[in-house]
Amino acid sequence: MSNRRTFITQSAAIASLGLPLSALAQANLELAKIICGFPPGGTSDAMSRRIADKLRGGYATNVVVENKPGAGGQIGVTTLRDSPADGSSLLLTPSSMLSIYPFVYKSLPYKPLEDVQPVSLACYFNHAFGVGPAVPDSVKNIKDFLAWAKANPTKANYGSPGAGSMPHLIVGLLNKLTGSDLKHIPYRGSAPGIQDLLGGQISAMSSPVGDYLPYLKSGKLRILAISGQNRSPFVPDVPTYRQQGFPITVREWYGVFLPGKANAQVVRRAAAYLQPALAQPDLISSMAQVGMEVQSSTPQVLGDLLRADAEEWRRLIKQIGFTAES
């Protein structure tokens, strides 16, 4: 019954995107891969594997994850660019590699609006500003933290998953807006930064909200602000930056892409399989555990979102004055 229901859902999705139902059988692939620009064990890898599970047996007979870590996700993008455009290679990536990196790296090895073809959104997520045991319990919000940091300049620091990442630039913007001088400590991903935050080696961390969730109930970590327009459903008691008087509103997303040279039929077929895959309740609930709000889209919507985000980050990065060489 479940296979029949899946087939009906996929058939409806394919029809809605303008493909004949025969495309389900005609274009079946023996092997497809989801390229992940980050190592096994992280959020990107976990979501890649969950999507692969949902596509296996339908989109392709077998779907595997190929981890291509390095250069902050850039290697994943270049791997996709150089892959066949027949639908056998997909990329799941955070938006930063495509919307931020073009404005912070002078010699990016790919062209974001040419070398990848949008297929579907995968999820949205907020970034959070959190503190650990190095910061006293009396610090309840961002204004408190900035005042405490000013009074304790040797402890006025924060970590992020990497230089030029969205979490880094959020606090760079906060510094700019408030005249603060919080020292940035870049890590290679969130995990080592969170461990140093737990150990008191750094005072604060700016990273995806899901990174903090395992440590909130015990009180080991506290979140002071959320980056999005609205409060996060995962920490509804935590106000946004904007609610605290700071005009910062950003939200990151993951998207699924094909090589830039993929034709329209290949793109529509991939989208038609991804939409029902991303609607599966078990996938939605499992990603909620790491702070991800799963949501699919049409290729057009994802393309429009990428262009709008790139333009917004062009403006913000100019305001912050950051480059990878700075």
CATH of the domain at 240: 3.40.190.10
**What single-letter DSSP state applies at residue 182?**
P
Instruction: Find, among 270, 271, 256, the residue nearest to 86 by Cα.
Output: 270
Instruction: Find, among 191, 235, 205, the residue nearest to 135 by Cα.
Output: 205
Please report whether residue 277 resides in a domain: yes
Residue appearing with tokens 């499992």:
286
pLDDT of residue 2: 45
- Are 259 and 158 in the same domain? no
Which of the listed residues 198, 223, 244 is the one where a domain comes to its end?
A: 244
How do residues 39-75 score in pLDDT, each as one tens digit?
887 788 889 999 999 999 999 999 999 999 888 889 9
Q: Select the more confidently predicted residue: 188 or 257.
A: 257
- Are 219 and 297 in the same domain? no
- Are 212 and 295 in the same domain? no
213 Cβ contact partners less than 8 Å away, ≥ 6 residues apart: 234, 235, 289, 290, 291
Please report whether residue 280 resides in a domain: yes
pLDDT of residue 191: 85
- Are 101 and 31 in the same domain? yes
Please report whether residue 322 resides in a domain: no
- Are 117 and 259 in the same domain? yes
Distance of alpha carbon 81 from alpha carbon 14, whole angstroms:
25
pLDDT of residue 43: 82
- Are 107 and 204 in the same domain? no
Kindly tell me the sign of the dihedral angle through the C-alpha atoms of 71, 166, 46, 128.
positive
Q: What is the mean pLDDT of the chain?
A: 91
Please report whether residue 319 resides in a domain: no
Strands (E), 22-74: 29-36, 60-67
The three-state secondary structure class of 306 is helix
Distance of alpha carbon 182 from alpha carbon 174, whole angstroms:
9
- Are 121 and 132 in the same domain? no
Which of the listed residues 191, 211, 244 is the one where a domain comes to its end?
A: 244
Sheet holding 157-160, edge to edge: 183-186, 157-160, 204-208, 127-131, 222-226
Sheet holding 252-259, edge to edge: 60-67, 29-36, 89-94, 252-259, 116-125, 293-294
- Are 120 and 259 in the same domain? yes
- Are 88 and 157 in the same domain? no
Instruction: Report helix, strand and coil shares of the chain as percent, to nearest 5.
Output: 45, 20, 35
Instruction: Find, among 47, 90, 39, 37, the residue nearest to 210 by Cα.
Output: 47
- Are 105 and 201 in the same domain? no
* Structural domain total, the chain: 2
pLDDT of residue 170: 96
Please report whether residue 96 resides in a domain: yes
Please give the backbone phi and psi of residue 294, each rounded to the nearest 5 degrees, phi first: -70, 135
CB distance 196 to 158 below 8 Å: no
How do residues 199-231 score in pLDDT, each as one tens digit?
999 999 999 999 999 999 999 999 999 999 999
Checking if the pLDDT of 25 tops 70, the result is no
pLDDT of residue 322: 81
- Are 197 and 264 in the same domain? no
175 Cβ contact partners less than 8 Å away, ≥ 6 residues apart: 181, 182
- Are 200 and 294 in the same domain? no
Distance of alpha carbon 309 from alpha carbon 286, whole angstroms:
27
Which of the listed residues 225, 244, 263 is the one where a domain comes to its end?
A: 244
Please report whether residue 138 resides in a domain: yes
Per the structure, the complete domain to which residue 115 belongs is given by: 2-125+253-311
Please report whether residue 61 resides in a domain: yes
179 Cβ contact partners less than 8 Å away, ≥ 6 residues apart: none
Q: Give percent of the chain with pLDDT exceeding 90.
A: 79
Element (H, E) at 9: helix 2-16
Please report whether residue 43 resides in a domain: yes
Q: Any idea what the CATH number is for the domain that residue 298 is in? A: 3.40.190.150
